Structure 1
Amino acid sequence: MIRSTFAVIAMLCWAGTVMAQTEAEPEKGRWSIAIHGGAGTLERDRITPEKDAEIRAALNQALAIGSKILDDGGSAMDAITATIVSMENDPNFNAGKGAVFTWDRTNELDTSIMDGSDLSAGAAASINGTKNPILLARAVKDHSPHVMLSGEGANQFSREQGLEQVPPEYYATPYRLEQIDRLLSKEVSAADIDYKFGTVGAVAMDSQGHMAAGTSTGGMTGKRWGRIGDSPVIGAGTYADDRSCAISATGSGEYFIRLGVAHEICTRIRIRFPAAIAEAQLAVPKDSDGNYTYVIHASEFMLPDEEIQQIADDVIAELGTLGGDGGIIYATPWGQAGYSFNTPGMYRGRATSGGEASVAIYGDEQ
């Protein structure tokens, strides 16, 4: 099936009628964005209709913010930053306001961001005091010689950068306080508490063809000993590369780190692309001397939607084999935006300049 798809594309190229959507250099105004607000045991019988509506409204708001920036010609970096800030400000998610509590009843937030145009990145781990952690990740990327800062040093850098600071009680919500109280009283286990991962993230391609990805989380309820998950780890929870894709992850962080999920997906796409061009070239007619009558260039070729999805699904399947739960969102240089997850549901949404815009929660939703 895939080979026949390449053959059709090759013939279109040879005939000089390649569709605009196959151009690697995006046509003016073309963009895409995908967002997530966590994955886990998100089932209809565990979420009230009121909470369902509340979550969808929050996802739609975040998606609209990023979409407007992209539609106005803004950068992917600006779009994902503003989108994640919106979700960090919403107590429904485990990031910023609404972050979960550690074993010591404190908050330790993690975040990262990456620019696919130059592979620059910034991250912060085990921080508190910053209202919007994603802004700290971006400040690390833009205004420091480092990629990752942690703990009090990162907090100090945040203050020096003039980022908005908040008192410890800012992050607390009645729901999160109830979670940690139940865990510490041994009413429930950590597995029962964290029936979903509320990490937030966004990925995008802008009208210049540049990719960006960002992730922000409050960590794991009841975590101890300064545990750090995948969210601030470039290549595990976040990765962006103009040559392949942008990825943001959510789930059981230890497994995402072990598999290097974000980087693994981008690498497989980057490796597959030239191989796919070579396969498509085989379908181009040859002249009497045995030479191809048309040479397919990368600028007029794309990986099909189904192959991008298969690559993402394969890596998430490997994650599951290791014992990990969760999912990812992706955006590609060819305008695709989507997700893959192995949990019953994932808070998610996507939009493109072609008019597509949707949000979803449960696994049976498109």
Structure 2
Amino acid sequence: MKRIPESVAAIVAACAAIAGVPAMAQEDEGRWSIAIHGGAGTLDRADMTPERDAAYRASLQAALDAGKAVLAGGGSALDAIEAVVTRLEDDEKFNAGRGAVFTWDGTHELDAAIMDGRDRAAGAIAGVIGVRHPIMLARKVMTDSPHVMLAGEGAEEFAHEQGVEFMPPEWFDTDARREALERMKAEKLSALDVDIKFGTVGAVALDTHGNLAAGTSTGGMTGKRWGRIGDAPVIGAGTYADNDSCAVSATGWGEFFIRVGVARTICLRMQMRGEDAQTASDAVIAEVGAMGGDGGVIVVAPSGDAVFSMNTTGMYRGRATSEGLDEVAIYGDE
């Protein structure tokens, strides 16, 4: 094939300008979008005091604002994800970092993952103890190691080498989480009986450069044993981002989300079937429900659409866009 002479190319470009192509590009310039979650589950108004409701909304709004500030300032989607998730990891109301659930042995085993939609680079950690911000360690795995996932003592060794901040075990403890473990053991309950909500946290974002990213962080399920790992750190299950399709962060019953490959499946439906983000998300969450699992997802599309989908009565969530959308919600009917 012959190359088009530069002079001809210039004429073509000029004609395109007259036709309004640059105007369309200018319209997209500066567009950003973000969605966050703090876990899905049984969240009924009757079980929530006004004070507790207000406290959760304030925490969600503060985390959302942190991500918005990064994106509105021209920062990367990855930086926005980290800004949101680190804030939620420090908030004991959520099951990630401080406030993470107890394992059967009374420890906190933390999981996290982050993914860059530009080249599908990803980093994940599983079963780590003492790391204040698991999402930051996951990003270190992505940028400063040749691997995608590190687990347990090896991940902790890597964290020390990278200068990641550690906190003593008691820093992660909360009375509510300890009571849940004690009740589980005393009454021989399942994790689902004591975890009425999945407090996993996550964020998905589109930045002004057109790049997508996703991140998820969790303490897992109360009373988990034998090094159990859920979907949050599994790329394609609880976390996924690809500029050509979408960015997803999930929260819910991890075993089912892994089996369905929730995050990747949503993006594939959008990419291969041409479904919009809401249609694809609803279909995949329905598939999870049909298998017996529950939970929800947040999704951002390359177009900037930010959507939620859940088969639970609620999900702590929020979203904002450069076009003025700015909201947080808890219950399914909001």
Percent identity over the alignment is: 60
Query: Aligned equivalents of 1:272 and 1:221: distance in 2?
Result: 38
> What are the within-5 Å matches in structure 2 for residues 1-366 of structure 1?
27-186=28-187, 188-273=189-274, 307-365=276-334
CA contact (8 A) 2:277 2:307 kept: no
What TM-score do the two structures reach when normalised by structure 1?
0.84
Amino acid at match of 2:252: G
CA contact (8 A) 1:248 1:328 kept: yes
Amino acid at match of 1:109: L
Query: Aligned equivalents of 2:259 and 2:66: distance in 1?
Result: 33
SS for the counterpart of 1:78 is helix
SS for the counterpart of 1:73 is coil
SS for the counterpart of 1:196 is coil
SS for the counterpart of 2:29 is coil
How far apart are 1:88 and its partner, in Å?
A: 0.4
SS for the counterpart of 1:213 is strand
How far apart are 1:47 and its partner, in Å?
A: 1.5
CA contact (8 A) 1:202 1:329 kept: yes
Cα gap change, 1:243 to 1:54, in 2 (>3 Å)? same
Gaps of 5+ in 2: 1-18
Structure with the larger RCO, 1 or 2 (CA within 8 Å, 6+ apart): 1
Query: Aligned equivalents of 2:161 and 2:47: distance in 1?
Result: 43
How far apart are 1:270 and its partner, in Å?
A: 1.0
Query: Aligned equivalents of 1:340 and 1:138: distance in 2?
Result: 26
Cα gap change, 1:49 to 1:145, in 2 (>3 Å)? same
How far apart are 1:18 and its partner, in Å?
A: 8.6
CA contact (8 A) 1:26 1:334 kept: no
Query: Aligned equivalents of 1:187 and 1:113: distance in 2?
Result: 35
Q: RMSD in angstroms over aligned alpha carbons? A: 1.9
SS for the counterpart of 1:234 is coil
Amino acid at match of 2:297: I
CA contact (8 A) 1:26 1:208 kept: no
SS for the counterpart of 1:165 is coil
Query: Aligned equivalents of 2:198 and 2:21: distance in 1?
Result: 42
CA contact (8 A) 1:35 1:63 kept: yes
Cα gap change, 1:260 to 1:160, in 2 (>3 Å)? same
Amino acid at match of 2:280: I
CA contact (8 A) 1:230 1:253 kept: yes
Cα gap change, 1:309 to 1:135, in 2 (>3 Å)? same
Count of aligned pairs: 318
SS for the counterpart of 1:197 is coil
How far apart are 1:183 and its partner, in Å?
A: 1.1
CA contact (8 A) 1:40 1:343 kept: yes
CA contact (8 A) 2:40 2:312 kept: yes
Q: Which residue of 1 aligns with 2:5?
A: none
Task: Say which is worse superposed, 308-317 or 53-62, in terms of deviation.
Answer: 308-317
Amino acid at match of 2:328: V
For 1:11-39, what per-residue CA distance to the aligned partner results, in whole angstroms no more than 9, with x for missing partners? Answer: xxxxx679978x6x972211000000000
How far apart are 1:190 and its partner, in Å?
A: 2.4
